A and B are shown apart, each in its own frame.
Chain A
């Protein structure tokens, strides 16, 4: 990069040079089919995005996907195995399991989105401030983050749930708070990296104000890894939210929710496998998709997520 001290020119986003940092493929690779197998192809990332889009639509408009009522009972149809009529079968009081999964996504996905939102906003602000200001602020903030990392996420979420009380919103807040630390770490690392770049120095030299440098030059260039992380955390938050509601800290019983749905099926493990297996598979597919999308975005941004 030609280093002129012309603030205007250098203030533009940097040329993508990351590709050149990748090690050149040596001529002596160990295994024959290198790289390709470990690297997701674009269509598979697209498939992940489609799955997430479908599930988000479930959460917004569950009525489009099933005509069954998730709460109305029908005792004569109890414990029917999966079939054309009831895709995922029916539960012990005749409710359609697929409908309960679709309607349950409203609670689960809502809680997940809130959780990721809290983690993203709080973590990014903390990380950006720490990375940008540096010095004592940095070390104080990052020590706090270390503490949050030392308590296992699920346990931290349980502590928060104890303090706030039960309910799906409180579960969401708890999961969100336990995700703050990882967002803060990633954001800080990225801000520190961008802050050291010549165009930031040039912006300062050009007399821009601190806030302006942060908003115009540093943040737009450091959101990539955080974005990738939020897709990954989305998967993690789905798992955490459903684990907490599986343990019974989430919704009040008649309402469907993925974790509690699976918990309700526990008593029918021997006779009605579909009550736990099929909702669980939905959770797995969603989490795999989110994680895959997160990794793809990370790689697309040239970073390892």
Chain B
């Protein structure tokens, strides 16, 4: 197990390095002149005289050869320095740190909602006995996956804020303004979670040991809580690790709709303004979150499925 974790750790570091490299190539090498790209979005590239361009190029380090730029930026990134934002001239890390608490609050509430809804729906769907109820419950997750996040957000704010005036549609004042964005963000996450969990629950209900427990007289509820549930968690946990990336991506749309500050809004504005350092910083940050969360998920897998810790055991499930 220690060896497996060591390998996973090395893999995680490798993924981060590669993410940095991929985004570097895409953002700094691919565009012909990053300075023109960055200023072009605001349409003032023609108004700049060449001397100013050269000065900017020097400030951002574009006057150096690409391999040297890469090494300097990589070394800086290792210290957490992703350069300056073009719009605000603030360090990118500072921008991320400022935006992070808002997104964490949103993502935390959304994840809590999504976990609750996903687990309840999946468990109820596989536990229910009435055909129509099962049909309805099993149809919910595929529907949830297909809803465009931006449309859910707009429709929610249309009814709850504009029609019924129950909750604020914009801003960040207090918990009430967090409810609609969190609901919006929770829909796709809970749906994909419920999809996997219900499949896994169905498979476990069909396993021989469940039949044995039932034939020995255990009630269905008892079988569910003592035999089925924990055995079905593996795939759902793996998906949960993958969905954290979706929460971050979903926050882009959600924060834009509800005009909330946060990481998603930061990167949305950065792309609109072609603020390359911020885009790269957030992408690498997202990959870091993804990698860390998946490491944690793997650890939890060992707790949930003790068989995995034995030597020669299969590795945790990854869909």
Contacts and interface: CB of A to CB of B under 8 A. Distances in A.
B206 A143 contact: no
Contacts of B290: 150-152
A243 B199 CA distance: 28
A23 interface: yes
B202 to A, nearest CB: 7
B271 to A, nearest CB: 5
A155 B252 contact: yes
Given A242-B148, A262-B151, A269-B158, A37 B134 contact: yes
Given A28-B211, A152-B245, A280 B155 contact: yes
Given A38-B138, A273-B158, A158 B279 contact: yes
B267 interface: yes
Interface in A231-273: 235, 239, 242-243, 246-249, 259, 262-263, 265-266, 269-270, 273
B151 A283 contact: yes
Contact of A30 (B169, B223, B267): B223
A162 B252 contact: no
A287 B146 contact: yes
A121 to B, nearest CB: 20
Contact of B253 (A144, A162, A235, A247): A247
Interface string B1-42: 000000000010011001100110011001100000100000
Interface in A1-44: 23, 25-33, 36-38
Interface stretch (B57-65, B123-131, B306-314): B123-131
A23 to B, nearest CB: 6
B301 interface: no
Interface stretch (B48-56, B73-81, B281-289): B281-289
Interface in A263-305: 263, 265-266, 269-270, 273, 276-277, 280, 283-284, 287-288, 291-292, 295, 304
Interface in B250-291: 250, 252-253, 256-257, 267-268, 270-272, 274, 276, 279-280, 282-283, 286-287, 290-291
Given A26-B208, A155-B248, A288-B143, A269 B279 contact: no
B134 A259 contact: no
B146 A304 contact: no
B151 A284 contact: yes
Contacts of A156: 283
A28 B215 contact: yes
A163 interface: yes
A278 to B, nearest CB: 11
A162 B220 contact: no
A283 B142 contact: no
Contacts of B220: 30
Given A30-B210, A38-B138, A163-B27, A151 B131 contact: no
Interface in B158-212: 158, 162-163, 169, 199, 202, 205-206, 208, 210-211
Nearest to A36: B131
B148 A280 contact: yes
Main secondary structure of the interface of A (DSSP, over half): helix
A249 B126 contact: no
A193 B267 CA distance: 40
B283 to A, nearest CB: 5
A295 B283 CA distance: 31
A47 B37 CA distance: 46
A249 B150 contact: no
Contacts of A280: 148, 151, 154-155
A73 interface: no
Contacts of A288: 142-143, 146
B217 to A, nearest CB: 12
A161 B275 CA distance: 12
A208 interface: no
Contacts of A26: 206, 208, 211
By CB atoms of chain A within 10 A, which of B127, B151, B163, B256 has the most? B151
Interface size, A (range): 35 or more
Contacts of B14: 143
By CB atoms of chain B within 10 A, which of A31, A161, A162, A164 has the most? A162
A144 to B, nearest CB: 7
A155 B14 CA distance: 19
Interface in A108-163: 143-144, 146-156, 158-163
Contact of B162 (A36, A151, A242, A270): A270
Contacts of B270: 162
B135 interface: yes
Contacts of B274: 162
Contacts of B248: 152, 155
Nearest to B208: A26
B245 A266 contact: no
Contacts of A158: 252, 267-268, 271, 279
Interface in B67-88: none
Contact of A284 (B22, B129, B134, B148): B148
A253 to B, nearest CB: 15
Nearest to B188: A239
B43 to A, nearest CB: 13
9 contacts: A30-B127, A33-B134, A146-B11, A152-B245, A152-B290, A154-B250, A162-B276, A163-B30, A280-B151
Given A33-B131, A246-B253, 20 more contacts: A27-B211, A30-B210, A30-B214, A38-B138, A38-B202, A147-B22, A147-B287, A150-B290, A151-B283, A155-B249, A159-B23, A159-B27, A162-B279, A163-B30, A243-B150, A247-B271, A249-B272, A259-B150, A270-B162, A283-B148
Smallest CB-CB A-B distances: 8 pairs = A280-B151, A154-B249, A152-B245, A28-B211, A152-B249, A287-B146, A270-B162, A147-B18
